Amino acid sequence: MRLHSITVRHYRRHKELRVDLDPERTLIGGANESGKSTLVEAAHRALFLKAKGNSKEHREMLSLTHGGKPEVEVEFEAAGKQYSLTKSFKGASGITRLVQASGPTWQGDEAEEKLAYLLQASGRKVAEQWNHLWVWQGSSSDDPLDQANAERESLVQRLQSHGGAAVIQSALDTQVADHFATQIKALFQDKGEPRKNSALGLAIQAEEEALETEKQAQNTLQNLQHAITQHEQSTAHITEAEAALKHLETEQSSLLRRSLEITRLRQLEQEHIRTAQEMLRTYETRLGAEQKISELRRVIAGKRASLTPQAEKLASLRHTVTSTQQLLEAAEEALRQSDQLLLETRARHDLAQALSSRLEKTQILDRLKARSKQIEALQTQRTQIEQQADRLPKVDATALRQLQSLERAHDKAQASLAGVATEIEVLTSTQSLQVGEKTLTTGQRLTLTDETELTLGDTRLRIRPGGGTSLAEARQQEQETQRQLQEALLKLGVKTLTEASTAQASREHLQSEWKTVNAELRGLDSEKFAAEWTTAERELIAAQAEVERRQTKEALDTPDLALSQRHLREAEINQEACRKQREVHQSAFKKAEAALAQHGDSTRALETEITQLETRLIVLVEHEGEDLLRTQALQQAQLQHEAAEAQVTTTRQSLSQHQPEHLEADQARFDRAWKAQNDKRAQANEKRIAAAALLQNDGSSDPAASLALAQARRQSAQAHRESTERHAQALRHVHELILEEQQILADQFTRPLAERVTGYLQRLFGTDVQATVTLEENQFQGLTLSRNNQSAFSFDSLSQGAREQVAAAFRLALAEILAEAHDGTLPVVFDDAFAHSDPDRVQNLQRMLDLAATRGLQIILLTCTPGDYALMGAKEIRLS
């Protein structure tokens, strides 16, 4: 189907207008309110709205500026033939005329039926007819899947042939699929677990109960058998434990005797060791004494030979010490006098320094007092600013911009309302004019925004400003924007935008003042002021105390700090010179004295050492005896030590035969064995008592018969569960196969549509873009886009401009597929559909629209900026 021309007469703002359309590309340009949308609306209503009627759509066609009834003529091509459609919308007298070129003519209802057949129109409302082809202004960013689902039957029929599916899902297929889905839902939960109340759930529960009964019967039988076995085993274990304990008693006696013998031998070993050690110490003592006596005699002889040269050098050193001592005493007297002068000078200087420090600390405290007043004044000012800000409405720059935006929207809505209003002015009249409830006389005027009756004498008129719908919409928009503005003002606590602007300006001014005051407080370092004040007071008190300590009765005057510093420096220089002179003489004296002392010490030390050595020798000889006696005693001590060592060796050999190193391990092994056998006997006795009690209590019934009955019931329940489970799994398998086939069929349906959408989008976004459309529950869902095989993003997540472009690509693909049922072509109308697309993207849009035209679609584009679409190569029509 292709449109050739549109002619409108007395249709809203158009008195008469004819537009001839290009078979492939038509660009209709013009400013706002030039009638572009009105023109294509007229064509759409001529095609789908019956001429007879007085609906809202019929009333909206009426012209407010031109007389006569609306009339639309559309020339088009359908089913390979040319037609001319004329509709005159005159209420109940409306006329429809359809003429086939060189063919028959149809009138009235017959013409409407023939037209609906040619257009393949459904029984939907007029606004919903060809909604997938007619992109009305303001709806270009709507989800195009709604239009796809509106044309689902036709679209699925066309996609079936493209996707290679043999048949679409029939009503019987749907009924079968629903039947199995219902069965699965009754049997299984969402996660695949059987439902408790289903046949499978009840069979599983019955099997579990039978299995539990079988386990209980089996446990009862096993418990009795185990009790018999346990009683027999416990009796045998008790006998074994008692025999082992008797054997352990014998081994315990042997261990005790062995332990006593080891203890005795160890004590004897220690006694022999002590004797051997005493003999060794005696021998070593006598041997050491003999060696010391020989060494002392040799050393004494050598030292007496070196004593004579020492005495001669000692006399020379004594003379040197006497001369250097006299020079040192003179230097020390001079240093004492300089020290006294320095002490007096330093006392006056310290006093002057303390007075200066007190003056400095006083000045610091005075400055802090002045700074304290500044900080207090600034803090008071900041508090006042914060209180003023708290009393103001909380209007910031963002809130003000939102209010301004709402006011602009309200002003725009008022302007729109005023634009569709009607003004009445009485120029001359001998009678009063009654307009609604108001009376107008000569020279008065009145603006009407609602449907109003006019009465002049016996004449009554009804005026409908703005054509009805647009006026109602304008009034509703004006009321809605006013409500939003009032709600925003009320939320902020202001009455007008001026008051909000004043409050926001005042808040900004107060905030600026607050920042300035805060900056000044930071400049005065107010946070650290208290610490500085405390430190200054403490330092002033310390300085005053220092002055009081330094000031004496002899120094009541205030010394000059600079003069005292100079005197102090001179005294320090004089003292330093005297000290250095004293140090020189002191060093010389110390060297001479040290040399004398060193040599005297060495001489005396040598003499003392010789005396000491001789004394030690005499004492040793007296204590140890003469040489012959010492030799005999040394030999005797050596023989006694050797005999004692032999006794230690003999005792250790006897001790090793009893293996004392294994005694502790043997005793621990015996204790473990004794405890183990006692525990074994006690445990066996407890088990024997428990087994006997169980045999007495459970010996009244036949556990083997109960087990056989429980096994039979469990086998029956298991067979029933397996049968029920096989049936349920079979139902699930059939259901899954149906779902798989439905998904395969859905993919076959949607793949050609997605491929066409992708082809158009690649003209916009590049070759790496991919579109996907899914068919679920017989509805088109999930339009998503992806790039470079990355994660997909949905249509709703796109920006408004991107939604306009993607929706246009989808509509073109949809029209291209559906056009196959209309001789391969359909008209696609875009009424200012790309208002949010940037200039660069508009260039690619033209490539996409051109591709659609080359594929047989008739593109009709309406825009306020026709210059942006110059590269489209379309036939351009300008409306003034």
Q: For the residues of 445-464, what is the DSSP string, one character each?
A: EEEE-S-EEEEETTEEEEE-
What is the rounded CA–CA span in Å between residue 826 and residue 498? 54
pLDDT of residue 556: 45
Give which of 686, 689, 708 is closest to 697, Cα–Cα: 689
pLDDT of residue 170: 57
What is the rounded CA–CA span in Å between residue 42 and residue 274? 135
Question: Taking phi first (over 0 means left), then psi (-120 to 50 degrees means alpha), and beta for anything else, what does residue 99 get?
Answer: beta
Q: What is the dihedral of CA 368, 373, 375, 379, to 10 degrees?
A: 160
Backbone angles phi, psi at 822, to 5 degrees: -130, 50
* Total Cβ atoms within 10 A of residue 230: 19
DSSP string covering 43-61: HHHHHHS-SS--SHHHHHT
Q: Are strands 875-879 and 25-30 parallel, antiparallel or unpaired?
A: parallel
Helices (H) and strands (E) in the chain, counts: 18, 20
pLDDT of residue 420: 67
Q: Taking a C-beta distance cutoff of 8 angstroms, is the pair 454, 424 a contact? A: yes
Q: Taking a C-beta distance cutoff of 8 angstroms, is the pair 417, 478 a contact? A: yes
Q: What is the pTM of this model?
A: 0.41
Tally of CA atoms within 13 A in the half-sphere of 647 that contains its CB: 17
What is the rounded CA–CA span in Å between residue 877 and residue 29? 6
Distance of CA 803 to the CA centre of its chain: 30
pLDDT profile of the chain (880 residues), mean per 10: 93 91 92 88 91 89 85 92 93 92 92 88 76 81 74 65 50 71 78 82 84 82 75 83 82 82 85 86 83 84 79 80 83 83 80 80 83 82 85 83 84 75 75 80 76 78 64 78 84 83 84 85 76 80 78 58 80 85 85 83 82 83 80 84 86 83 83 86 82 65 73 82 84 75 62 79 81 71 75 79 85 83 85 82 85 90 88 87
What is the rounded CA–CA span in Å between residue 69 and residue 656? 140
Q: Taking a C-beta distance cutoff of 8 angstroms, is the pair 94, 103 a contact? A: no
Q: Taking a C-beta distance cutoff of 8 angstroms, is the pair 346, 485 a contact? A: no
Q: Please, which residues have CB within 8 angstroms of residue 541's CB and are 6 or more apart in sequence?
A: none
Q: Taking a C-beta distance cutoff of 8 angstroms, is the pair 347, 550 a contact? A: yes
Instruction: Tell me the CA distances in angstroms from 326 to 46, 318, 323, 583, one per residue in order.
Output: 144, 13, 6, 14
Q: Taking a C-beta distance cutoff of 8 angstroms, is the pair 503, 389 a contact? A: no
Tokens 């072509």 locate to 825
Largest CA distance in the chain: 181
What is the rounded CA–CA span in Å between residue 746 and residue 820? 20
Quote the Cα angle for 293-297-299, to 5°: 115
Instruction: Tell me the CA distances in angstroms from 784 to 155, 778, 795, one per residue in order.
Output: 19, 18, 6
- Could you write out the three-class secondary structure of 101-148? CCCCEEEHHHHHHHHHHHHCCCCCCHHHCCCCCEECCCCCCCCCHHHH
What is the rounded CA–CA span in Å between residue 458 and residue 435? 14
Bridge partners (DSSP) listed for residue 462:
453
Tokens 């073109």 locate to 812
Q: Taking a C-beta distance cutoff of 8 angstroms, is the pair 70, 13 a contact? A: no
The encoded tokens of residue 323 equal 């001369």
